[in-house]
Amino acid sequence: MKIRRESPETERSPLVLNPVLEGLGSYPLVRLDERRVKLEEKGVRLFDFGAGDPREPTDEGIRQALINAVPEVSRYPSAAGTKDLREAFVGYMSRRFGVELDPGTEVLPASGSKEAVFHTPLAFLHPSHERRGVAYGTPGYPVYERGTVFAGGETLPIKLKKEDGFLLPVREIDPERTRAVWINYPHNPTGATASLSYFEELAAFCHEHDILIFSDECYNDVYSGEAPPSILEVTRERTLAFVSLSKRSGMTGYRSAMMAGDGELIAALKKMRPSIGAASPGFVYAAATAAWRDDSHVDARNRVFAEKRELFTRFFERAGLRWTQTNASLYLWAEVPEEYGGDDEAYALKLLEEGLLVAPGSSFGPGGEGYFRVALVPRLEDCKAAIERWEALLR
């Protein structure tokens, strides 16, 4: 059979894309990653504080659980996960937050929280409905917006402000247009935390106006000092929490998270998710089960993150840089030095020339201008070396 080959002169019609895809720019941190690759190709020693992907090794017990679970014969996994996984997660929620969940009806695994955040609006938005808006804070994680757009929803960004502690102002949620609201505390990129009283205020407003609450809690176990709370300590009515192993257990590459809360919402997701094919492999479920059952490795990781945080906050003090005080998340949110006139991209470029990669605040959306984010992901010794280089630049 001959394969017909087009001549070089043959004109091809333009590729037609989904209009949503055509309207989106590049994913912000992808651009930073592309620049990082080019610098590394040139042999520049780069200290990468851009993406939130910590370099500390995953706990040996978790790795071994995965290895032991690799089967001789591979079979399709279940979107509902294993009973052991769900029960291990329920045990974690009881220990950590005092929240008692039904492992059969109130929890569901996901292939990482990013995947879950993106797909969840597909289950609860209807393009023809007059109230199809999704509110979320900006600056913030871009996937809240992108998942909404692909689901045919209306994006309702709400600017987060320093004077409000970067908490999403409940008073600015429009009840006439809002179907769901995303919150994320501890917050990416600012590191801000929320109190139980804030969650109570939000829950009361949303229940009054029949608004779904989606709480992205992937940084809840990265902290020193007072432990950040969960929205599920206040309510699970029309509410879902998204809880990840990526940062808690250093499992970013495993892609494993859990969704928990209102049984009716979980049932809807359980009905939808087999169509997506988002189930994790069985050996990842086994590793995740081991991770949710153990807290000691989390404590060990947090001691390292606390030391990194302390290194940078002392440096910021010496350098006269202003930052948002926090003891949670992987991030430090700092203001661009005055001599750069608030131009976060110019400052990030200057640092990049010195081999220091940070994320400009504007890459996280409106409200991020004039800030930069430092992700505490390099190893401790690399953090010390990076600070030395940064201080030399300031001198």
Per residue in 15-71, pLDDT (tens digit) is 888 888 877 766 555 666 677 788 888 888 899 998 888 999 999 999 999 999 999
Residue 161: CB atoms within 10 Å: 12
Residue matched to tokens 């797909």? 119
Q: Which of 343, 332, 337 is nearest to 321 (CA)?
A: 337
Domain ranges of the chain: 19-57+297-394, 60-294
Q: State the DSSP code for 362.
A: G
The DSSP bridge pattern shows strands 371-375 and 331-335 to be antiparallel
Residue matched to tokens 């790795």? 63
Q: Where does 60-294 sit in CATH, by number?
A: 3.40.640.10
DSSP β-bridge partners for residue 331: 375
Domain 19-57+297-394 homologous superfamily, CATH: Aspartate Aminotransferase, domain 1 (3.90.1150.10)
Task: Quote the CA–CA distance of 50 and 36 in Å, as a whole number.
Answer: 9
Residue ranges in the chain modelled with pLDDT below 70? 1-10, 25-33
Q: Which two tokens stand for residue 322?
A: 């202003």
Q: State the DSSP code for 56.
A: S
The alpha carbon torsion through 139, 338, 329, 225 (nearest 10 deg) reads -130
Task: Give tens-digit pLDDT for 83-97.
Answer: 999 999 999 999 999
